[in-house]
Chain A
Amino acid sequence: MRRNWEAIWLVAQREFKDQLRDWRIIVPMALLVLVFPFIADDTTRQAVSFMNRYGGDLILDRLVPFVILIIGFFPLSFTLVVALEAFVGEKERGTIEPLLSSPLEDTQLYLGKLLVGVTTPLVFSYLSMGIYLLLVSRRDVEFPSAYMLALIFLLTLAHAVLMVSAAIVISVQATTIRAANLMASFVVVPVAFLLQGETMLIFWGNEDVLWFAILAVILLSGLLVRLGLAHFKREYLLGREIDTLDFKGMYRLFRNQFVGGARSILEWYRVSVFDAVGKMKQPIFIVIALGAIAVLAAYFWVVAELPSYLSHSPERMEDLQKMVGDNIALLEQFQEHLPAPLLFFYNTRTTIVFLLMGLVSFGTLGLTLFLMNFALIGGVLGIAQLIGFSPVLAFAAGVLPHGLFELTAVILATAGTLKVGALLVSPNTERSVGEVLLIALADWFKVFIGLVVPLLAIAAVIEIYLTPVLIKLAFPFL
């Protein structure tokens, strides 16, 4: 363990020294770090004067934490170049081979580079934030609490780890520094969006929610580090002088995995689709278990917490029951407003959104969306219970008939998305990240086309034509 840390530190230390000796890195960074807090301080002064003139106390209170967050982000974005060229830079300068032919382990090399990549931007960010805090302490504006400051410093750390872990993955996979730098936008832009979301949380006023952002960012960073390590291959860093896009090869790989050597539709289902489902047993189990927990948690939370927000008077209950009755009366026109093909289209689109969200988050965002949908079912059943309907009957009549198909389809799609993420972060030095992704996508699409789409089609027909009838039968008094 100690030897491991020593080796990681050795790799990092050499690079730190290298950076400190390169004035082309230090001078621009130092200048930007020093200048930006002064600009931000002046902006704060003008914003404070504007707010004081027109009123806006809440914004004023949250202005400084927001500016600190932004100031922390700027050095991260321009010092990212250090991480981006961690491996590919050494490759281009020809210094990578002696390092790779040494007894340093992959993890030691990788984490050493990660440590430098995170520390350098973070030092500059914290320096910039510190200078700004010093400047702002002289102004007549509310200084953020220690708790808020701790949260923002932690959030900046999480951003640094996230951006650098993504940059290092790029650095391992890219063939030239130029290509790696061009990819920087794929790191900076998503984090900038994330920053906007966090800014909303700061202005919204519930800083405790920032903990979720910190945890989510750290989770994602962990997965990115795992992805990088799983596909770290010394061979890649030595070979591949020029990358060529082999579309034919990509198509062949996808097609072979998708078809699985089948010569007919029946054989395809037998040897390819069901085989893929068989390999998804573990994610299917996880998705079902988490889905069940989400339904139950939402149901019990609604039953326990909602009454304190709702007036529980008999008149109010009557109103609510009447509202539900009116809505159910609308079910007769349901087919006109939402024909089955349109519902099928919406559900299919949602499933694809699960996949897309899952692709950028190793399956986690896809799973989150799935859980939110399941929590919604639990919530609706909880409300049914609160307003005096049987939740079991509501589930049996309103969810189960089409849910049997729709929920199965969504569970399969989400499990597939989770599997894509899991494959990406699983060690596989035999194949490149691109190849693993293509194979995982081929598996996802064969389950999607072979099972999910037909199930969603059946579910849409049942939901439009059968479910309203069953609801009316179950609740004839409405």
Chain B
Amino acid sequence: MIECEDLSKKYNGSFWAVDGVSLRVQPGQILALLGQNGAGKTTTVRMLTALISPTRGWARVAGYDVVRQPQEVRANVGMLTEQHGLYMRMTGEEYLEFFGKVYGLDAETRRKRSQYLLEYFGLTDAARKRCGEYSKGMKQKLALARALIHDPSVLLLDEPTSAMDPESAQLVRNEIARLRSSKRTIIICTHNLAEAEALADEIAIIYRGRILLNGPLDELKRRVLGPVEYEAQFAEPFEVGELRLPEGVEVAFRSATSLRFRVEAPLAVNPQIVQELTSRRAPLVSFQEVSRKLEQVYLKTMAEAQGGAYAA
């Protein structure tokens, strides 16, 4: 589990790189930390790995306090850093062996874990090649294998699929999803909003060191973009204006062949709308929720934070 309260870091006596961040990530959950470059994502993650000490606030990772028990925190966290950080003259096998020793694994566990990870990430053939000869994607996969070598209960991953081809990225996403199902606590820092949407249970958007939004994606969509939108499409022009829509339905858009509306309580209201359409013999082709992406939530939140208007 990861929990922090009012976590803050001040640099050069005046610049707050992170200012009052409070988060809680349960085992089996993935939190995606989103934000612009320099927003404070890396600083937050570094504080959670006990690499840098907070100026204010507290954090507990895997049950350990980041200030008082930094060694224990580091021993229980797997961290994928912004840069892959590989030793170029070591082979992939040696690299994992080295970090296995650093994390205090016995020889048998080291061998098994290395073998499993190299095989999983498709690096077995390259295991005896020097890291300097690896492609960008291979380097990223090996770095991720390093973060997983000690089978940590907490994972802090900075851009886990950057520089990877689509197949490798999918492989990594699958592994992250598998780790979630085995009750690992995971934070991903990413600019890849589609990936965050696909993986994360919770989203936190950070801007200038402060958390602007934090919560499950559906909730954030409701909070930022308003109630869920539905759209009915008709096979031929239909007089929508004659429909008697139940209370609480807000029409967002209408045309001769479509109707888009927002509704606070779709479970109660949508069956009534469908009934009304059917009774009026509307040539209904489809009735579905309008898909809203994390990207819209992110861009609108950022635009508002920067004092601008969001153009959907």
Contacts and interface: CB of A to CB of B under 8 A. Distances in A.
Indicate, yes or no, whether A interacts with B.
yes
Interface of A: 3, 7, 10, 14, 17-18, 21-22, 93-105, 234-235, 238-239, 249
B81 A98 contact: yes
A233 to B, nearest CB: 9
B86 A95 contact: yes
A7 B102 CA distance: 7
A238 B52 contact: yes
A18 B90 contact: yes
Contact of B81 (A3, A21, A97, A105): A97
Interface of A is mostly: helix
Interface in B4-19: 11, 13
A36 to B, nearest CB: 27
Chain A CB within 10 Å, residue with most, of B84, B90, B98: B98
A97 B90 contact: no
11 contacts: A10-B101, A18-B87, A94-B85, A95-B85, A95-B87, A100-B51, A101-B51, A102-B99, A102-B102, A104-B102, A235-B53
On chain B, which size bracket covers the interface? 20 to 34
Contacts, number: 69
Contact of B103 (A17, A102, A235): A102
Contacts of A94: 81, 83-85
A100 B71 CA distance: 10
Given A98-B99, A239-B11, 16 more contacts: A14-B87, A14-B98, A18-B87, A21-B89, A22-B89, A94-B81, A94-B85, A97-B82, A97-B83, A98-B85, A102-B99, A103-B103, A104-B102, A234-B51, A234-B52, A238-B52
B225 interface: no
Contacts of A99: 85, 102
Contacts of A21: 89
A102 B75 CA distance: 6
B190 interface: no
Nearest to A100: B51
Nearest to B73: A103
A101 B52 contact: no
B221 interface: no
Contacts of A98: 79, 81, 85, 99, 143, 146
A97 B143 CA distance: 12
Report the 4 A-B pairs with minimum CB-CB distance, sorted nearest first: A94-B83, A103-B75, A98-B85, A97-B81
A101 B81 contact: yes
B148 to A, nearest CB: 12
Interface string B65-86: 0000001101101010111111
B248 interface: no
Contacts of B13: 249
A3 B106 CA distance: 13
B97 to A, nearest CB: 10
B46 interface: yes
B312 to A, nearest CB: 38
Given A10-B102, A104-B102, A234-B51, A97 B85 contact: yes
A102 B70 CA distance: 10
Nearest to B98: A14
Contacts of B90: 14, 17-18
Interface in B236-265: none
Interface string B44-75: 00100101110000000000000000011011
B107 to A, nearest CB: 13
B53 A101 contact: no
Chain B CB within 10 Å, residue with most, of A7, A96, A234: A234
B226 interface: no
